[in-house]
Amino acid sequence: MAKKNVSVWTSIPFWRRSAAWVTGFAVMLLIWLSFDTLGQISMGTDEDLKAGTTKRVPAPTVINYNIDYKMDKKRGSEVPVIGAKEPFFGKEWSVEEAADLLHLGKLTSQAKNCMNCHTLLGNGAYFAPDLTKSWLDPMWSATGPMQAMTGKPTKEEAMAEFLINPSQYPTHARMMPNLGITAEEAVGLVAFLKHMSSIDTNGFPRNFSKTVDQFKVGGTNAR
Amino acid sequence: MLASIKTNSLTNEGQKLGMMYFRVAIILFGAQLLMGLIAAIQFLVPGFLFEIFDFSVARMVHINALVVWMLYAMIGSVYMMITDETGVETVGIKLGKLGFWVLTAAVTVVVLVYIFVQVGAGTEASIWLIHEGREYIEAPRWADIGIVVVVLIFYWNVFASYMAGKQTGIMTVMVANLMALAGLYLAGMFFTDNISMDQFWWWWVIHLWVEATWEVFVGTLAAYALIRLIGAKREIVEMWLWIEVLMLFGSGVLGMGHHYFWIGTPEYWWEIGALFSALEPVPLIAMFVHVLYDWGKEQGMAHGRGEEGNVVTNGPAMAWIVTNAFGNFLGAGVWGFFHTLPQVNIYTHGTQFTAAHGHLAFFGAYATILIGMMYYGVQKAHGVERMAMNFKSKMGIFLITFGVLGMTVALTIAGYEQVLVERAELGGTWNAFFIAQELPWYIQAQLWRTIMGVVTLVGFIYLVWDLLTIGKESQKEEV
């Protein structure tokens, strides 16, 4: 414009500069926070697990431990609690074995497109249950129906059997289709799910542990 | 009718290429609606196409067709405006045309693999060749690399033309924003065993696209369209554009925090996400006010000059752009704000609430203005001075808008029921999920969603019919 601006509020250069500064500031802050977050969500190590050091995302060897999801009074929400060692598919997995298994499970979860029916950490599609804490779901516990239905003595074996032949074990009219998951891939997927249940999700999904207890005593959830 | 597909009056090569992008976009839009309909029916009739064409496949093609048709229409819109803004013919247009054919061939192969191969084994090869299984950016790795190459060609066309010609404010924002938009895609191109890390970077693509760079893109398009359609004054439009950039990036970049509430990331994102995403509707209100104010102002000034008639030179395009201004605010702003605070989001995250917001926001913020740009392209392609709404244009915009609003309301009700029953009452377990899914209220809502989806599809048929015929009809009237 040839004419001099009457006010700074109608000056294009003023708004252009402001836009650049605000955007630049927001981006710098995002990058700075991202560095902090990436440090906090990088996977822990087997040593952390042995020492009982809490990590937001534990090492793959967390599959060798019992995992619970308990109300933490201080935080006001449920948090994953890693307990004593327990066998996973009847054995303890070494650091390398556990890492390979998790790798296979994560790859399979993507190749089979889990996320376009289920939600993982709450993200995905809304056609099937959320998988964030599915390892802890009462359906799979010793008192739940799935172990009896699949005829398997442990939670992990029942889950693997279901994943291999999902439409053989219908629980509702809406069923999971057969995706050609092999026995090996199924073990990987169960490891992936168990690992995911150990991630500190700031209390999401809320009330999950409450209903687990209700379920155990034949509460409202056990219809 | 088929003759009108040919861009007969265009002499500008960039605009001809833009029309080619629009044609593929509208076909993919149709595919998106058909896939959505299949998925909607599967909610009601669980056995529908079970183990033949499962929900996961229909849903994957539904959302991928959405993303790809929008990217096509966005690229098309940029090719429409390059010469208008810079005053020079698009630089490197031959390469641009080659890029179009490479991209279209790649998209075709990807979609065919989605539909016929569907899933692979749990190996790296599946991620490279079939799909990546990551919502919205499922494209297999080979296609990712192809997309990057084609986008680089497109960006060269835009950047070189910008450097060679006039450097308007609109084009400056476009060039800077497109660089960010294209660069962000790289954040989604790697594999990690860590699901939290996976989703952290996944949101860099998804969020920084739809809540930052795509929104600025829409602001830029609206600025260009206002100048072209109602003769708005460039100084005012460009000043508004800079204010919009300030507010959109100022809120949207850190608004990212609202996706980091529950994926393993630290608690400080609660405060950051809540604060900045709560500010995200502000620029959307501003954009709405801006479009209507400018329109009223130009019309008033025309009357003041003693001119009779409408200042709008393209009725359907303007109607879609006004729908965009309001739809963006309603779908992205209001429906987004509904569940953006962590105290609410802990119950709504991962329910049909998100789907409701997704439908109205993608439609209101993006589909609308891109359809408007298609009408503008049709007008240019036929060399008509004025293009007015006819019965088909009105049916198209009314039925599509009504249909999407209806779907949104239905999904909101379904989501509300899910939030209260599945989440708040029962705690989100497997059983809780199915108890909520099988309640009559939920099923009724899904039924209404499907009906409204059919309404949208009928509107789409009117829209395509109109896009194919309105140019020729307006030509006849003008002669």
A60–B193 CB contact, under 8 Å: yes
Q: Which long-range contacts (CB under 8 A, 24 or more apart) does B126-131 make?
A: B126/A107, B126/A110, B126/A111, B127/A107, B127/A110, B127/A111, B127/B191, B130/A111, B131/A113, B131/B60
Query: What's the pLDDT score for residue A216?
Result: 58
H helices within B256-280, ranges in order?
268-279
ipTM confidence: 0.94
Give the residue from B128, B140, B18, B9 showing the smallest Cα distance to B79. B18
d(CA B475, CA A176): 54
How many CB contacts within 8 angstroms connect chain A with chain B?
274
Please give the residue range of the domain that contains residue B375: 312-479
Task: Decide: A60 and A195 in contact? Cβ < 8 Å.
Answer: yes
Q: Which chain B residue shows the shortest CA-CA distance from A104? A: B122
Q: Which residues of B touch A119 (CB under 8 A)?
A: 350
Read off the tokens for B388: 């007015």
pLDDT of residue A215: 58
Tokens 């155990």 locate to A216
**Cβ-defined contact of A122 to B262 (cutoff 8 Å):** yes
**Gap between the Cα atoms of A94 and B281, Å rounded:** 50
B431 part of contact set with chain A, CB < 8 Å: yes
**B170 occurs within a structural domain:** no
The arithmetic mean of pLDDT across residues B392-407, rounded, is 98
Distance between CA atoms of residues A100 and A223, nearest Å: 39
Tell me if chain A has a CB within 8 Å of the CB of B194.
yes
CB contact under 8 A, A22 and B42: no
Give per-residue pLDDT as tens, A39-93: 999 999 999 999 999 999 999 999 999 999 998 999 989 999 999 999 999 999 9
Q: What is the mean pLDDT of residues B436-453?
A: 96
pLDDT digits (tens, 9 = 90+) for B49-61: 999 999 999 999 9
- With respect to residue B302, please indicate whether it lies within any of the assigned structural domains: no
Q: Is the dihedral of CA A118, A119, A125, A129 positive or negative?
A: positive
Render the burial of A170-193: b for 16+ CB within 10 Å, e for the rest: ebeebbbbebebeeebbbbbbbbb
| Cross-strand bridge partners of residue A65 | A85
- Candidates A19, A117, A202; nearest CB to B261: A202
Q: How far apart are CA B371 and CA B25, in angstroms?
A: 10
- Number of domains chain B contains: 1
SS3 A217: coil
Q: Which of A18, A30, A222 is closest, CB to CB, to B256?
A: A30
Res B6 pLDDT > 80: no
Pick the closest to residue A82 from A105, A102, A103, A53 (CA basis): A53
Taking contacts as CB-CB distances below 8 angstroms, the residues of chain B near A113 are 56-57, 60, 118-119, 131, 133, 138
- B178 found inside a domain: no
Report the C-alpha gap between B20 and B6 in whole angstroms. 9
User: pLDDT digits over B112-132, tens only?
Assistant: 999 999 999 999 999 999 999
Q: Specify if B98 maps to a domain.
A: no
Label residue B323 by pLDDT band (50, 70, 90).
very high
Within a domain: residue B209? no
pLDDT range class, residue A1, cuts 50, 70, 90: very low
Segment B133-142 shows an average pLDDT of 95
Q: Do A112 and B119 touch (CB under 8 A)?
A: yes
Return the residue of B nearest to A78 by Cα: B427
- Angle among Cα B474, B475, B477 to the nearest 5 degrees reads 65
Single out the residue of A146, A136, A152, A150 nearest to residue A213, CA to CA: A136
Q: Which residues partner with A67 through β-bridges?
A: A82
**What is the residue-averaged pLDDT of chain A?**
92
Q: Which helix (H) or strand (E) holds B94?
A: helix B93-116
Query: Where is average pLDDT lowest: A179-183, A214-218, B57-61?
Result: A214-218
Q: What is the mean pLDDT of chain B?
A: 95
Pick A125's closest partner by Cβ from B59, B122, B267.
B59
- Identify all chain B residues contacting A205, using CB atoms and an 8 Å cutoff: 346, 350, 423, 427-428
Residue B309: the pLDDT is: 85
**How far lies A110's CA from each of A184, B128, B195, B205, in Å?**
15, 11, 11, 17
Report pTM: 0.95
Peptide bond into A205 cis (omega under 30): yes
pLDDT band for B3, please (50, 70, 90 cuts): very low
CB contact under 8 A, A179 and B424: no
Q: Among A110, A179, A200, whose Cβ lies nearest the Cβ of B132?
A: A110
Question: How distant is the alpha carbon of residue A33 from its chain centre?
Answer: 22
Tell me, what CATH number does B433's domain have? 1.20.210.10
Q: How far apart are CA B254 and CA B272, in angstroms?
A: 7
pLDDT tens by residue, B72-90: 999 999 999 999 999 999 9
Task: Assess if residue B434 is contained within a domain.
Answer: yes
Q: Which of A87-91, A143-147, A160-164 has the lowest mean pLDDT?
A: A143-147
Give the pLDDT band (50/70/90) at residue B300: very high
B396, B240, B235: which is closest to B315 by C-alpha?
A: B396
CB B202 within 8 A of CB A115: no
- Looking at residue B451, what is its pLDDT? 98
In this structure, what are the phi and psi dihedrals at residue A66, rounded to the nearest 5 degrees?
-75, 135
Contact B402, B327 (CB under 8 A): no
Per-residue pLDDT for B308 more than 90? no
Report yes or no on B5 lying in a domain: no
Angle (CA) B246 B329 B252, round 5°: 35
Contacts of A45 in chain B (CB under 8 A): none
Between A29, A104, A116, which is nearest B59 by CB? A116
Q: Is B264 on the interface with A (CB under 8 A)?
A: yes
Residue of A nearest to B48 (CA): A174
Best of A115, A139, A189 to substitute, by most chain B Cβ atoms within 10 angstroms, is A115
Q: How far A89 CA lies from chain B's nearest CA (Å)?
A: 20
In sequence order, the 6+-apart residues with CB closer than 8 A to the CB of A161 are: A150, A151, A152, A169, A186
Q: Is residue B330 assigned to a domain?
A: yes
DSSP for B405-425 reads HHHHHHHHHHHHHIIIIIIII
B22-35 per-position pLDDT tens digit:
999 999 999 999 99
Distance CA B43, CA B40 (A): 5
Residue to test with chain B: of A17, A18, A41, most B Cβ within 10 A: A41
Contact at 8 Å (CB) between A63 and A97? Answer: no
**pLDDT of B2 above 60:** no
At A72 the three-state DSSP class reads strand
CA distance B40 to chain A (A): 10
Contact yes or no for A156/A91 (Cβ under 8 A):
no
